[in-house]
Amino acid sequence: MKKNQRIDINSLLYKTRENLDIEQHILARYFIRSKTSVTEGAKAIALGQSIGPMHIRTKYENKQLFHNHGAKIIGQVPKGNEGIVEIAFPAHNIDPETDGISQLLCTLAGGQYDISILEQVRLLDFQLPQHWASFFPGPRFGLSGIREILKVYDRPLLGAIIKPKTGLPPKLIAEICYELALGGCDFIKEDEILGNPFFCRMEERVPLISEILQRASRKTGTKTLYAPCLTVGVKHLKEHCRKAVRLGASALHFNLYCGLSSYRMIAEDPQISVPIHVQRSGDMAYTKDPHHGIDAGVICRAIRLCGGDLTHAGMLGGYIATPPEQLERYLEILKGPFFGFRSTIPAISGGTHPGLVQVTYERLGKDIMFMVGGAIMGHPQGMCAGARAMRQAIDATVQGIPIEEAAVQHKELETAIKEWGIVKSLT
């Protein structure tokens, strides 16, 4: 084959937003710190994640191939060796139906980290064209659907995490769930550490918990959703989820390490018509460094796209403190306008206790779920009292009653405040 004439890459690599067909591209924003320059780093990403490496051209490349399949650098590139750039990837390079979220993230957050001139690179966010997003389910229930199931519309929701994380037999877990439901929890999930061990098989515990929560519901007149942890191998995931639903699970919960595409698979399965909680533990391995890896907002957007009805969003105060402005951005990604998808419920978790309810509510509003482990399970008067203390704090806050005043009326809340205090400010 005759060798092509040398192609002027620079004339093909750059576009302005005005000259770009947004509906035919997937846009990605990156922070780059380069050994050379931001320009060279952006070129390396655009070329390396579309048609080929930066410095090597092949005889099969031509202007038409670059035009149709090459990524483009959008707008002005910052001078110097670090800054934020936007790169547009041709949407038709990825099939949304079969490639899905896996190939999308492979393209947007894959080989970038192998490029030698890039000391740091962080995927900050991405934007999809409408036709591409239409292949994804989004949350089946989301905020509005779960509120409708629970018949709770005017306050933050309360979730509980079973502790100890593992080692308990099924009957004892069921007894714990009963106490949590009597205390006023809307949602109960097993900890992500509890898998399917021989001493606590899913097939044994789910029917027991389902039956005992029905008993609690008859007593309280309210409903509590229960999500067993189903972080299993992909070979078994779908059947495991279907079986859990048949046995009485009213929600499902599995970890991010199952793969984002697994959430899409479960959300699209007509035999699994219960809410899905996406457990994010582990993502800090690539989200924690503010200048490298993947921004947690990207994970939140992908979770919503793939059908997560609830997910951990962050925490104000507590032992895992998220900067307030950052957490508000995650909530906007989970709940704001996004191709008509339902909102994913942001779970606020990582050291939540009654003394944090008021300041969190003032900052984040009512459309959240307080997800609580230690402050419920470790309440000095027991787990039912711990759940009641959280509900007392939530109800008082929504009614505009200061926590100190509410504590005078409720011994469970009073005890919790003595144990964990009241946080007045997050500054």
The answer to whether the peptide bond before residue 337 is cis (omega within 30 degrees of 0) is no
Residue 311: what are its φ and ψ, rounded to 5°? Answer: -160, 155
pLDDT score at 427: 66
Helix (H) or strand (E) holding 184: none
pLDDT score at 9: 77
- Of all residues in the chain, what percent carry a pLDDT higher than 90? 89
Pick from 383, 326, 322, 324: which is nearest to 349 by CA? Answer: 322
For 106-123, how does the pLDDT look when each residue is reduced to its tens digit (9 = 90+)? 999 999 999 999 999 999
Tokens of 308: 């997560």
pLDDT score at 320: 83
pLDDT at 146 over 60: yes
Q: How would residue 251 be classed by pLDDT, with cut points 50, 70 and 90? A: very high
- Of all residues in the chain, what percent carry a pLDDT higher than 70? 98
Q: Which residues contact 422 (CB under 8 A, 6 or more apart)?
A: 355, 358, 403, 404
Q: Which residue has the tokens 């048949």?
A: 246
pLDDT score at 12: 83
Helix (H) or strand (E) holding 74: strand 72-74
For 258-317, how does the pLDDT look when each residue is reduced to its tens digit (9 = 90+)? 999 999 999 999 999 999 999 999 999 999 999 999 999 999 999 999 999 999 999 998
pLDDT score at 46: 96
CA angle 25, 29, 35 (to 5 degrees): 125
157 strand-pairing partners: 369
Amino acid 405 reads E
For 237-246, how does the pLDDT look when each residue is reduced to its tens digit (9 = 90+)? 999 999 999 9
Report in angstroms the alpha-carbon separations of 49 from 107, 108, 181, 307.
6, 8, 50, 27
Is 339 within 8 Å of 134 (Cβ atoms)?
A: yes
For 383-406, how does the pLDDT look when each residue is reduced to its tens digit (9 = 90+)? 999 999 999 999 999 999 999 999
pLDDT at 6 over 60: yes
Amino acid 4 reads N
pLDDT at 5 over 70: no
Q: Which residue has the tokens 């482990």?
A: 373
For 24-83, how does the pLDDT look when each residue is reduced to its tens digit (9 = 90+)? 999 999 999 999 999 999 999 999 999 887 677 777 778 888 889 999 999 999 999 999
Distance of CA 385 to the CA centre of its chain: 30
For 166-202, how does the pLDDT look when each residue is reduced to its tens digit (9 = 90+)? 999 999 999 999 999 999 999 999 999 999 999 999 9
Q: What distance in Å separates the CA atoms of residue 11 and residue 183, rounded to the nearest whole number? A: 66
pLDDT score at 10: 77
pLDDT score at 321: 85
Tokens of 11: 């004339």
Pick from 127, 141, 197, 137: which is nearest to 168 by CA? Answer: 197
pLDDT score at 292: 98
Q: Residue 323 half-sphere exposure, CB side, CA atoms within 13 Å?
A: 6
For 341-366, how does the pLDDT look when each residue is reduced to its tens digit (9 = 90+)? 999 999 999 999 999 999 999 999 99
**Domains of the chain by start residue, with CATH:** 17-133 (3.30.70.150), 142-420 (3.20.20.110)
pLDDT score at 425: 87
pLDDT at 1 over 50: no
